[in-house]
Amino acid sequence: MAGESRLNDFFDEAKKVAEFLLESISKERNILVISHMDADGISAAGIMGKALFNAGAKFCIRIERWMDEKVLDEACLHGEDTLLIFTDMGSGYLDILGAKVGDRRIVILDHHQPIGNSKESFLQVNPHLFGIDGSREISSAGIAYLVAKFLDGKNINLAYLAVVGALGDLQDKFDDRRLGGVNELIVKDAVESGFLSVETDLLFFGRETRPIHKALAYTANPYIPGISGEEDKSLAFLSELNIELKRNDRWRALRDLSQDEKRRLFSALHDYLVSRGFRSEVAMRLLGAVYVLVKEEPWTPLRDAREFALLLNATGRMEVPGLGVAICMGDRSEAYEEALKTLDEYRQTITKYLRWLDENSNRIEEWDSIYVLHGEKDIDERAISTISTILSTNLPKPNKPLIAYSFIPREKILKISARTTDSLAKMGLNLGEIIRVAAEKCSGVGGGHDIAAGAQIPYERKIEFLKNVNLLVKKQIERLKKNEGGSQNNISI
């Protein structure tokens, strides 16, 4: 984590935004919150929404798939009397924002690497500006929570949503798949508020809610070939281990298994994955810290924070993000029931694409310095981010980033989703900067984190873009090796 003084400076900036919001609320200004469509963005929007509601503010929330000039044009249609708050977006488009909003006072709560120059009128809370790693130590939901806590100490009861956002952004990269850095402080708040407990267990999807064979079949991170998405084969796998599947005519869930049964199951899955050519550390992703939301109803997807995050991500990717925001703000009736249906549809969609890739492995092409997943029109752009995240943990050579893309015909652009390993990022590889430079050279926009990034580029520039990324990765890795792991942020072709 950053030094104590830098951390205090970061907190002070969040406090400054909270004071500005209180002033704006007292003047009865309208507030427009614009956030990203993934789990972190929806969590951040939900936190801000709940905090603003508690403060008696007049506000509305919009969720967008990405920031572009159209989004900003629509935002600016709201007069200057409306305060614009950007969560989980904004820092990567500072120059575009400056050109669109002029000297208008806006708020940016974002954890992505800043790109461009921030105007003095911008109130920007971004961990990177204070030496804090925004890809691992705090997400945008966490930043929104800090602001909410400074608005009113009672908002400590929103800390659990920041935990959900961080897990949705895959920030559980510390030992035993725990949250660390500033997130660790937020976890303490969530535990102190009585909303969260932390345990160690197998990390199966549906560990609270589903029969064990279904929970195993629904587990996709890591993706287990021949088991993920295959309920009958999961059932057979468990039966061969002599794990009792039913008791008193009721299917057993993961929570019902004894410690011995869990140990045998984990050992068998580890050996199975290794036998299929996976690295041992891939199997270790099945075990780690479990974040239990103790005030949610038992046996529901909201009980496990990672499942909660997946539910939010599903609502965003399936273009019904309002359901996710409503759930974050407390709806457990109609919005929740609709979101459950959306989650099932989304899970089936992801499983369908993973099976398709199993049958069309030639769509994953190895280049000199990267892997390329040619999604084209066969993988919907709403799913490409999730697919790239899952595949990036299962590549034959983990020292090469994965660049996945999907074609959006109506807009004639490529949606790019890039992922690399934690080890390469720690070595100094900055994938967000590489994607930004390559996209700009192809009349596109891009950026993100050192470990994960995205872009949108014209379809006709596809090969040029991929070649640029391949060359940039090669050059940066060569420099890093030459500098014995020193970071390198200035990139050129």
Instruction: State the pTM of this model.
Output: 0.87
**Which tens digits make up the pLDDT trace of 300-337?**
889 999 999 999 999 999 999 999 999 999 999 999 99
> What's the N-to-C CA distance of the chain in angstroms?
33
* % of the chain surpassing 70 pLDDT: 97
For residue 51, the model assigns a pLDDT of 98
Q: Assess whether pLDDT exceeds 80 at residue 492.
A: no
Closest CA to 267 of 245, 242, 241: 241
Two tokens, residue 44 = 């951040």
The CA dihedral of 123, 111, 196, 13, to the nearest 10 degrees, is -30
Tell me what the mean pLDDT of segment 6-16 comes to: 96
For residue 490, the model assigns a pLDDT of 47
The residues near 285 (Cβ < 8 Å, ≥ 6 apart) are: 177, 203, 221, 222, 393
Q: How many CA atoms lie within 13 A of 88 on its CB side?
A: 32
Determine how many CB atoms are found less than 10 A away from the CB of residue 22.
15
Q: Assess whether pLDDT exceeds 50 at residue 405.
A: yes
Query: 414 by DSSP, 3-state: which?
Result: strand
Q: Assess whether pLDDT exceeds 60 at residue 392.
A: yes
Mode of pairing for the β-strands spanning 371-374 and 364-366: antiparallel
Q: How many residues does the chain have?
A: 493
CA atoms of 343 and 441, how far apart (whole Å): 37
Two tokens, residue 240 = 């061969």
> How buried is residue 405: exposed, middle or buried, by Cβ count under 10 Å (0-12/13-18/19+)?
buried
For residue 484, the model assigns a pLDDT of 63
Tell me what the mean pLDDT of segment 207-223 comes to: 84
Two tokens, residue 408 = 């959006």
CA angle 381, 113, 203 (to 5 degrees): 60
Indicate the average pLDDT of the chain. 92
- Alpha carbon separation from 320 to 131, 169, 416, 429 (Å, rounded): 35, 19, 22, 35
Tell me what the mean pLDDT of segment 458-471 comes to: 97
Tell me what the mean pLDDT of segment 126-147 comes to: 97
Q: Is the peptide bond before 222 cis (omega within 30 degrees of 0)?
A: yes
> How buried is residue 307: exposed, middle or buried, by Cβ count under 10 Å (0-12/13-18/19+)?
buried
> How buried is residue 84: exposed, middle or buried, by Cβ count under 10 Å (0-12/13-18/19+)?
buried
For residue 209, the model assigns a pLDDT of 76
The residues near 15 (Cβ < 8 Å, ≥ 6 apart) are: 150
Residue 408: strand pairing partners: 413
Mode of pairing for the β-strands spanning 250-251 and 246-247: antiparallel
Two tokens, residue 188 = 């303490």
Query: 400 by DSSP, 3-state: which?
Result: coil
Min mean pLDDT across 38-42, 244-248, 433-437 is at 244-248
Q: Of 96-110, 114-128, 178-192, 245-259, where does the model show the most confidence? A: 178-192
Computed from CA positions of residues 291, 292, 295, 299, in that sequence, does the dihedral angle turn out positive or negative?
positive
Tell me what the mean pLDDT of segment 446-453 comes to: 91
Phi, psi of 344 (to 5 degrees): -60, -40
Task: Please give the DSSP secondary-structure letter assigned to residue 301.
Answer: G
CA atoms of 187 and 196, how far apart (whole Å): 8
Q: Assess whether pLDDT exceeds 50 at residue 488.
A: no
CA atoms of 13 and 16, how far apart (whole Å): 5
Tell me what the mean pLDDT of segment 126-139 comes to: 96
Determine how many CB atoms are found less than 10 A away from the CB of residue 193.
16
Two tokens, residue 189 = 């708040």
Determine how many CB atoms are found less than 10 A away from the CB of residue 334.
10
Mode of pairing for the β-strands spanning 452-458 and 413-419: antiparallel
Contact between residue 356 and residue 82 where contact means Cβ atoms under 8 Å apart: no
Phi, psi of 138 (to 5 degrees): -165, 140
H or E element, residue 12: helix 4-26
Q: Assess whether pLDDT exceeds 50 at residue 486.
A: no
Two tokens, residue 113 = 């690497």
Q: Of 83-97, 177-191, 287-301, where does the model show the most confidence? A: 177-191
More confident residue, 493 or 68: 68
For residue 304, the model assigns a pLDDT of 92
Instruction: Please give the single-letter amino acid code of residue 205.
Output: F
For residue 491, the model assigns a pLDDT of 45
More confident residue, 150 or 76: 150
